[in-house]
């Protein structure tokens, strides 16, 4: 009660109010600075320690000083300058020492050592300040209050340090600030309660009171300046570090090259949207975007050009998406779009179509025209899932399907696609096993001389019976084998086996083997062919390799080299499926081709379809003028056969003349033929 009485009766309340504001504001700033100091390390810690100690010291000291000005006593008062300055140094130095201890990793040293030191420093400042306060009267001290004031200061400061050690909770700063304020206020007024003055009779107030007030004001002002400097230093630093933090946050969430959202931000946004949808949020579409022909750009134009392409792609994607949608780069040439508020397939399709279109547009990079395109897979939430993983998987399946349907297109997920993909996946696995275990069979389709009707050769055709899915057509499994990188191995096996088989045939029967475009890219192909011939003893002149025009399309230099080497072995090259691809006549001229095989799509429309008839006639003429042999494939009717004969195709092949058959049956067939010829 004496403390409250001391505040109300002995103090000028205006000064008390100012002191209280100073105290609370100073304590808040001190708590903030303490927390910062305790989090720092190295040289920065030393600076922060100094700044905090000076600011907190000045704040407590100013509080004490202002409150003292409000202390009303009848006795005349003067101030000892030296002791006053010493009291300020004690405050700053003591708090600094306390902070050193409070920065310790040990909780005991920090809270008990640091807190007590700070509490003691504040107390020491107070009492030294009281000695500087010279009152002309009889001064008496009540030691119980002195001890109580020390205890209050040390316990409050220790608690404040304890709270500030919890760096994660920002709210703690306010609590610690209030405790520091309590420490200072509690100390001051209990300390003042311990202090009483009785004016001595006969002394009047001396004339120094003006000088006293001026000195007090000056000291208070300096203290305020120091506190102010501390606050503004802290604010400037916090602004700089929050700018830095924003920049770091931006870097963490964005792709450096394209400035799109990165995989991390995409994952977080997708998870967020999925959570929102569970609690009644808006539907949205997830689109996976994959560039169809990006790798060759890096390979041919170099990585800087590739980077520029990616930047432009990023820009185009942002324009194709609507504003507010998230466009992210989630891999080298993989992008994703989260399109918000997409309620149906129609809206999603519209956006996906824009994406496909804008990606298919030409691009000029350093004078080079870059032809690029993209495929898009779309999954809708919540229709196709509300879990991020399921949505990504479904969008990926749709993308996979888009890529397998000619690329440069989009697909919206459908449950049926799952089955297609599952079949694809299980075929892939089965095909890997098959190529290890050699599960492929070769059948031979006889080729006949159109004039005499004799067998002149056979085309080796690959057959595969999948243990799970049964007979699989080569048109289905060859592309898969190409993708899995198995085709070179399978192709080499076929070549080896077929050559071995053919070596046992009558010498006038030739062998034709298909070579896929991927095989043709392999520079080891001539070596493989030579090896197969050497192992089997088949004469090179009896072997013919069938290639398609697509194989020549993009890599004609490499293909030309490989084909020339094969031709030099004595092996002939024929052009399969002629008329279906780009059918550039320049290929016939530039490449060592000795035979053209007219595609069955023309032959099958014979003889009624005028267009097909004239194409077949033209190819036959072309063959005779370029001295190339012509084979007509896919003969199914007699009228087709007679048309072909009439127009001078050398050889025929088709279901009418002979279906593909197993080796044993083929041997029987050739044996019969041989007998027929002999008879």
* Minimum distance of other proteins from residue 340's CB (angstroms): 20
- Between 362 and 406, CB nearer to other proteins: 362
- Between 362 and 467, CB nearer to other proteins: 362
In the numeric block, which tokens belong to residue 203? 């002394």
* Minimum distance of other proteins from residue 553's CB (angstroms): 20
- Between 299 and 366, CB nearer to other proteins: 366
- The helix/strand/coil state of 567 is helix
* Minimum distance of other proteins from residue 354's CB (angstroms): 7
Tell me the CA end-to-end span of the chain in Å, nearest whole number.
140
* Minimum distance of other proteins from residue 346's CB (angstroms): 18
- Between 172 and 316, CB nearer to other proteins: 316
The CA distance from 457 to 447, in Å, is 5
* Minimum distance of other proteins from residue 323's CB (angstroms): 13
- Between 337 and 427, CB nearer to other proteins: 337
253-260 long-range contacts (CB < 8 A, ≥24 apart) are 255/314, 255/328, 255/329, 257/307, 257/310, 257/311, 257/329, 258/310, 258/311, 258/313, 258/314, 258/329, 259/314, 260/314, 260/317, 260/318, 260/327, 260/328, 260/329, 260/335
Strands 363-365 and 374-381: unpaired
- Between 297 and 320, CB nearer to other proteins: 320
- Between 365 and 613, CB nearer to other proteins: 365
- Between 288 and 355, CB nearer to other proteins: 355
Q: How far is CA 444 from CA 205, 502, 511, 651, 662, in A?
A: 130, 10, 9, 16, 6
* Minimum distance of other proteins from residue 342's CB (angstroms): 18
* Minimum distance of other proteins from residue 321's CB (angstroms): 12
Q: CB under 8 Å to 524, separation ≥6 — which residues?
A: 488
Strands 368-370 and 363-365: antiparallel
- The helix/strand/coil state of 329 is strand
- Between 361 and 405, CB nearer to other proteins: 361
The CA distance from 667 to 505, in Å, is 7
E strand spans, 492-583: 510-514, 543-548, 572-578
590-594 long-range contacts (CB < 8 A, ≥24 apart) are 590/556, 590/560, 591/552, 591/559, 591/560, 591/563, 592/563, 592/564, 592/567, 593/628, 594/544, 594/628, 594/629
- Between 315 and 580, CB nearer to other proteins: 315
The CA distance from 676 to 672, in Å, is 6
Q: What is the CA radius of gyration of the chain?
A: 46
The CA distance from 57 to 54, in Å, is 5
The CA distance from 1 to 396, in Å, is 77
- Between 311 and 594, CB nearer to other proteins: 311
Q: How far is CA 281 from CA 116, 268, 292, 386, in A?
A: 54, 16, 34, 11
* Minimum distance of other proteins from residue 303's CB (angstroms): 19
* Minimum distance of other proteins from residue 358's CB (angstroms): 7
- Between 323 and 475, CB nearer to other proteins: 323
Q: Where on the chain is the footprint of other proteins (CB under 8 A)?
A: 312, 315-316, 319-320, 354, 357-358, 361-367, 369
The 3 state secondary structure assigned to 68-121 is: HHCECCCCCEEECHHHHHHHHHHHHHHHHHHHHHHCCCCHHHHHHHHHHHHHHH
Residues 617/632, Cβ–Cβ less than 8 Å: no
* Minimum distance of other proteins from residue 633's CB (angstroms): 33
- Between 316 and 542, CB nearer to other proteins: 316
Burial degree of 149 (CB within 10 A; 0-12, 13-18, 19+): buried
- Between 165 and 354, CB nearer to other proteins: 354
* Minimum distance of other proteins from residue 361's CB (angstroms): 4
Residues 543/572, Cβ–Cβ less than 8 Å: yes
Q: How far is CA 424 from CA 55, 412, 418, 427, 481, in A?
A: 72, 18, 10, 5, 11
* Minimum distance of other proteins from residue 364's CB (angstroms): 5
- Between 365 and 420, CB nearer to other proteins: 365
Residues 472/440, Cβ–Cβ less than 8 Å: no
The CA distance from 23 to 29, in Å, is 10
* Minimum distance of other proteins from residue 375's CB (angstroms): 18
* Minimum distance of other proteins from residue 366's CB (angstroms): 8
Q: CB under 8 Å to 580, separation ≥6 — which residues?
A: 549, 599, 601
* Minimum distance of other proteins from residue 351's CB (angstroms): 12
């Amino acid at each position: 009660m004496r403390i409250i009485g001391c505040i109300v009766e002995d103090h000028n309340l205006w000064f008390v109010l100012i002191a209280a504001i100073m105290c609370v504001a100073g304590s808040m700033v001190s708590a903030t600075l303490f927390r910062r100091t305790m989090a720092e390390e190295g040289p920065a810690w030393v600076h922060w320690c100094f700044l905090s100690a000076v600011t907190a010291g000045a704040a407590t000291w100013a509080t004490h000083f202002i409150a003292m000005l409000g202390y009303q006593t009848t006795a005349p008062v003067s101030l000892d300058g030296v002791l006053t300055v010493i009291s300020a140094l004690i405050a700053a130095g003591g708090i600094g020492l306390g902070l050193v201890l409070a920065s310790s990793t040990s909780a005991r040293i920090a809270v008990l050592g640091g807190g007590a030191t700070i509490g003691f420093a504040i107390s020491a400042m107070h009492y030294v300040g009281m000695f500087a306060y010279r009152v002309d009267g009889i001064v008496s001290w009540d030691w119980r209050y002195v001890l109580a004031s020390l205890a209050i200061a040390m316990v409050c400061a220790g608690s404040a340090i304890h709270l500030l050690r919890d760096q994660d909770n920002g709210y703690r700063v306010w609590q610690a600030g209030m405790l520091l304020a309590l420490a200072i206020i509690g100390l001051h007024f209990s300390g003042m309660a311990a202090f009483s003055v009785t004016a001595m009779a006969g002394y009047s107030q001396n004339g120094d009171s003006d000088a006293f007030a001026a000195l007090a004001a000056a000291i208070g002002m300096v203290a305020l300046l120091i506190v102010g400097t501390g606050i503004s230093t802290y604010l400037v630093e916090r602004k700089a570090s929050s700018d830095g933090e924003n920049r770091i946050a931006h870097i963490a969430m964005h792709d450096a090259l394209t400035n799109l959202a990165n995989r991390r931000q995409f994952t977080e946004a997708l998870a967020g949207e999925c959570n929102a949808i569970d609690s009644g949020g808006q539907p949205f579409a997830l689109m996976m975007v994959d560039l169809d022909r990006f790798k060759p750009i890096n390979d041919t134009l170099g990585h800087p050009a590739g980077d520029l392409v990616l930047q432009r792609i990023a820009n185009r994607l942002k324009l194709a998406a609507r504003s507010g949608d998230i466009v992210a780069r989630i891999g080298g040439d993989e992008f994703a779009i989260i399109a918000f508020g997409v309620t149906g397939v129609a809206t999603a399709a519209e956006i996906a179509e824009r994406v496909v279109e804008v990606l298919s547009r030409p691009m000029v990079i350093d004078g080079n025209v870059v032809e690029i395109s993209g495929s898009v897979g779309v999954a809708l939430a919540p229709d196709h899932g509300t879990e991020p993983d399921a949505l990504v998987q479904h969008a990926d399946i749709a993308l996979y399907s888009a890529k397998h349907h000619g690329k440069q297109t989009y697909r919206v997920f459908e449950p049926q696609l799952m089955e297609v993909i599952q079949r694809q996946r299980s075929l892939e696995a089965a095909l890997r096993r098959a190529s290890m275990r050699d599960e492929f069979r070769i059948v031979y389709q006889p080729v006949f001389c159109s004039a005499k009707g004799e067998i002149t050769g056979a085309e080796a055709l690959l057959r595969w019976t999948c243990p799970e899915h049964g007979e699989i057509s080569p048109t289905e499994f060859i592309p898969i084998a190409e993708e899995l990188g198995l085709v070179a191995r399978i192709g080499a096996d076929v070549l080896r086996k077929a050559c071995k088989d053919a070596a046992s045939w009558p010498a006038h029967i030739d062998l034709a083997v298909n070579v896929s475009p991927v095989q043709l890219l392999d520079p080891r192909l001539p070596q493989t062919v030579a090896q197969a011939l050497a192992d089997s003893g088949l004469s090179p002149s009896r072997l013919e390799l069938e290639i398609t025009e697509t194989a020549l399309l993009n890599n004609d230099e490499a293909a030309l080299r490989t084909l020339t080497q094969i031709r030099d072995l004595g092996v002939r090259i024929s052009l399969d499926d002629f008329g279906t691809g780009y059918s550039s006549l320049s290929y016939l001229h530039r490449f060592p081709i000795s035979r053209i095989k007219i595609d069955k799509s023309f032959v099958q429309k014979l003889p009624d379809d005028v267009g097909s008839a004239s194409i077949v006639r033209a190819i036959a003429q072309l063959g005779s003028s370029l001295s190339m042999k012509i084979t007509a494939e896919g003969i199914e009717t007699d009228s087709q056969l007679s048309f072909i004969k009439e127009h001078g195709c050398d050889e025929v092949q088709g279901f009418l003349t002979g279906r593909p058959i197993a080796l044993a049956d083929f041997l029987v067939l050739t044996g019969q033929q041989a007998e027929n010829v002999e008879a």
